[in-house]
Amino acid sequence: MKTLHLYLTRQVVATLAMTVTVFTLVLLLGNALKEILALLVNGQATIGLVLQAIGLLIPFVLAFALPMGLLTATLLVFGRFSADQELTAVRASGVSLVALITPVLLLSAGLSCVSALVNLQIAPQCRVAYKTLLFRTGLEQPTSLIAEDRFMDDFPGYAVYVAAKGGSNLHGVRIYGLDADGKMTNLIQAVRASVASDVTNNRAFLRLYGVHEYDLVNWTGVNYFEEITKTLTNRPPTHPTLSVSLSDLTFPQLWQKLRELEKMAAQGNPLERANSEKLREQKRQLEAIRADLTLPVRVQIHRQIAFSFACIGFTLVGIPLGIGAHRRETSAGVALALILVLTYYSFIILGQSLETRPELAPHLILWLPNFIFQAVGGVLLWRANRGV
C-alpha cells in the first residue's frame, strides 16, 4: 500500500507542477502584456523592472493557478490510471478507491492551507506592491508631466504642444507664452527637446534644441538659438497617490476596516431606547442601512476565505470524473477542467457583482461553489468507490 500511495502521489505532484506552471504562465501573460509590455516597448521600463513586476505578479496569479492546476492534475492522472486498467488491478487486489486516494485528499487539504496563506496575505500584498511599482515607474519617467499630440494648458503662463515623445526626448515642440488674459505673447519652436521632471514639485525642465522664438506682440523678428533651457511648473501642485481597492487588501486589513465601519455605524444612534412601533421600525431601517455600509468588506472577506477551499472541492470532483472519463488524452482533461473552473468562478463573479445587494446575501453566494463541488464530488466518489 505504501508503494502504491507513493507512486500515485508522485504522479499527481509531477502533473500538478506542470499544470500549475502552465496556468501561471498563461495568467502572467494576460496580466503582464497589457500593463508591462507597453512600458517596455516605449522604452519606459528596463528588463530588470519587468522581471521584478513579473515576480510580484506570481503570487497573485498563483492564487488562481494552484486550484486550477490541481483540478487538471487529478483529471489527467486518474484518467490515465483508469484508461491503463491500473485502477482495475488495484481493486482486484482488494484496495478500495477511498484507501487509494487518501494521500491525494491529504495533499488537497495541505494545498488549501497554502491557498489560504496566499489568498489572505501574500497575494494582496504582492498585488499592491506590483501596482505601486508601475505607479512609481510612471511618475519617475521624465516625460510623465508632458502629454503627446495635444495642447496642454497645465503650465501657468504657457500653452505647450509636443508632436511626439520617446523616452526622455520630445519632438516638434511649441511653447506659447500667455499674458494674464490668456492672449499669446510669444512663440518658441524647437526641433527637439530633452526633458527632466521634478514630480514632487510638478515641474518639467526642457532643454530645447534648434530654437526659433517669435514675438507675437511687437513682431520685432525671429530669434534663433542653438540651445536654451525652459522651466515649466504644472498646476495644480497635487501629489498623486495610489489608491488601494478592497480586493487588494489583506485579511487583517479587511478585518480592521470592518471593525472601523461597524464602530462608525454604532456611534450616535438616537433610537437606542425607542419604544413605539414606529420608532422600532425606523431603528430597523437604520440598522439595515448601516449593514449595507459593511457589506462590500464582508464580501471580500468571505471571497478570500471561500476561495481558499477550492482545492478540496476540485479534488473531490476531479478524481471520480477522471476515472469515469477513461481517457489518456491531455486535451480532454484540460477541456473538462476549464469547464469546471468556469462554473466555479461564475459563482465568485456573481457574488462580487452583488456586493451592493444585501437582500441577495452575496457573501453566502461565494460559498455555493464549494458546497456544490464538495457535495457532488462526495456523491461521485462514493459511487466510484462502489463501482456504480
The DSSP-derived string for 242-279 is ----GGGS-HHHHHHHHHHHHHHHHTT-TTTT--SHHH
User: Model pTM greater than 0.85?
Assistant: no
pLDDT digits (tens, 9 = 90+) for 124-170: 999 888 888 876 766 556 565 566 777 777 678 888 888 888 767 88
Report residue 276's pLDDT band, with 50, 70 and 90 as the boundaries.
low
Beta carbons within 8 Å of 303's beta carbon, 6+ residues apart: 247, 348, 351, 352, 366
Domain ranges of the chain: 2-140+296-386, 151-233
pLDDT digits (tens, 9 = 90+) for 220-269: 778 889 999 988 776 544 444 455 677 788 889 888 888 877 776 565 45
Beta strand residue intervals within the chain, DSSP E:
151-152, 158-166, 169-178, 184-198, 203-215, 222-233
Helix and strand counts by DSSP (H, E) for the chain: 12, 6
Q: Are 202 and 178 in contact (CB under 8 A)?
A: no
In this structure, what C-alpha cell is assigned to residue 95?
Answer: 484496495
Note the pLDDT of residue 329: 61
Q: Residue 83: is its pLDDT beyond 50?
A: yes
Compute the C-alpha angle 51/54/56, nearest 5°: 110
> Which DSSP state fits 358?
G
Distance (Å, whole) CA 314 – CA 318: 6
Task: Give me the residue label for grid cell 505673447.
Answer: 185
pLDDT digits (tens, 9 = 90+) for 328-384: 666 766 788 888 989 999 998 998 888 777 778 888 899 999 999 999 999 998 888
Distance (Å, whole) CA 306 – CA 311: 11
- Higher pLDDT: 306 or 91? It is 306
13 to 17, 76, 96, 103, 230: CA distances (angstroms): 6, 12, 21, 11, 62
Note the pLDDT of residue 72: 92
Task: Give me the residue label for grid cell 431606547.
Answer: 273
